[in-house]
Every structure is written in C-alpha cells, then in structure tokens.
Amino acid sequence: MEKINVLFTEEEIEKRVCEISNELYEKYHDEEVVFVCTLKGAVFFACDLLKRYKGDGRIEFLRVSSYEGESSTGKINLKLPLDAEKINGKHVVIVEDIVDTGYTLEYITKYVNGMHPKSMITCALLDKKSRRKVEINPTYTGFEIEDLFVIGYGLDYDQKYRNLPYIGVVVKE
C-alpha cells in the first residue's frame, strides 16, 4: 500500500463534526431538517453529522459525478436524483465532502433550489478555497485546506481509499 500522510485524524474529524452538528441544532432546534448527502464522498460525514444531531434530522441522497482520477471532467452528471416531495417546503442542509472549483456545489444548490425548500444551507467537510472557479462558499466548513488531492473518510482516488477513517494525502514516489 502507498504511503499516506495524515492531514486530519479520526479524533480531529469527530471533534469538528460534533461542533458543526451542535451549531446546526442551535440554528434549527426542533424543526425538521433534511440532510441531503451527496454520494458517495459525503456519506461518512453526513452519517456522522446526523448521528450527532440532537434534533429532528432526516436524510436523503443525491449523486452527481464530475471527477475521474484527480481531475474534474468539468461536466456534472446527475446520477441519482432527489425526490422533490422530500425537499419541497423543508429546511435543507446540503452535505458535501469537499468544495474545489465549486462547480458541483453550484450545480447542486441550483438543483435543490428548484425544488423550493423552505430554506437551504450548505455544509462541506473540506474547502479548497484557492481553487475556486465560481463564486460559491459553503455556509459551514469543516476544514479549509491547501490545493492538495486528499483521500479517506469517504473521499476517493478512483474509488479507492474511501474506507480510511482519517483524511490524508497519498505520497507519490
């Protein structure tokens, strides 16, 4: 197996996820909230957020794709749509793994807005701000990172490494 430099440990991630989950509860209290998990990358983050959430949290899944290997193909494809009935009139929190150019989050926010939620915010575990091509910023961010290709805790490199409990960078020989 390749050498991996750890960027965020399991404990650091858990602490930050708890903080965000508590901030979300402070915002919504006992109102119903639909967490929209973007597959596959955000699956661990969304489940952990929800597991810690003290209020009425629901979960829905959406899948889009634009990446192959380490680079974006630029074209976003909707692979698994949302059920509009589950979004219409609800408080929605879009849960993303990482915001890079911002094209994916822009696409998803427009798509979800078209379903007329009561409110909508975005929550990304990681943010590579310096790479942004469109003006979009997540409402909540776990960690801001440099321009590095990261893997683990749901994030993949060609479907590999998602199962790592930490976030890291593959060291290239």
Q: Mark the segment that binds ligand IMP (CB under 6 A) among 1-9, 17-25, 46-54, 90-98.
A: 90-98
Work out which of 41, 117, 138, 142 binds ligand IMP, going by CB under 6 A.
41
From the candidates 48, 83, 97, 100, give the one annotated as an active-site residue. 100
Binding of residue 168 to ligand IMP (CB under 6 A): no
For 4-108, strand residue ranges (E) read 4-8, 33-39, 57-68, 71-80, 91-99
Residue found under tokens 């798509």: 111
Give the residue with the Cβ less far from ligand IMP, 98 or 115. 98
Amino acid letter for position 129: K
Binding of residue 67 to ligand IMP (CB under 6 A): yes
Work out which of 25, 72, 121, 143 binds ligand IMP, going by CB under 6 A.
72
Q: What long-range pairs does 156-161 form, CB within 8 A, spacing at least 24?
A: 156/40, 156/41, 157/69, 157/70, 158/68, 158/69, 161/4
Work out which of 102, 117, 152, 168 binds ligand IMP, going by CB under 6 A.
102
Q: What long-range pairs does 11-19 form, CB within 8 A, spacing at least 24?
A: 13/48, 13/125, 13/142, 13/153, 13/166, 13/167, 14/48, 16/142, 16/143, 17/45, 17/48, 17/49, 17/52, 17/142, 18/52
Confirm whether 100 is a catalytic residue: yes
Residues present in the chain in total:
173
Binding of residue 141 to ligand IMP (CB under 6 A): no
Binding of residue 98 to ligand IMP (CB under 6 A): yes
For the record, the structure tokens of 98 come out as: 């990482």
Judged by CB under 6 A, the number of residues near ligand IMP is 17
Work out which of 49, 96, 125, 138 binds ligand IMP, going by CB under 6 A.
96
Q: How far is the CB of 151 from ligand IMP (least distance, A)?
A: 6
Residues forming contacts to ligand IMP in the complex (CB under 6 A) are 41, 66-67, 72, 96-105, 149-150, 155
Could you give the residue numbers annotated as active site? 100
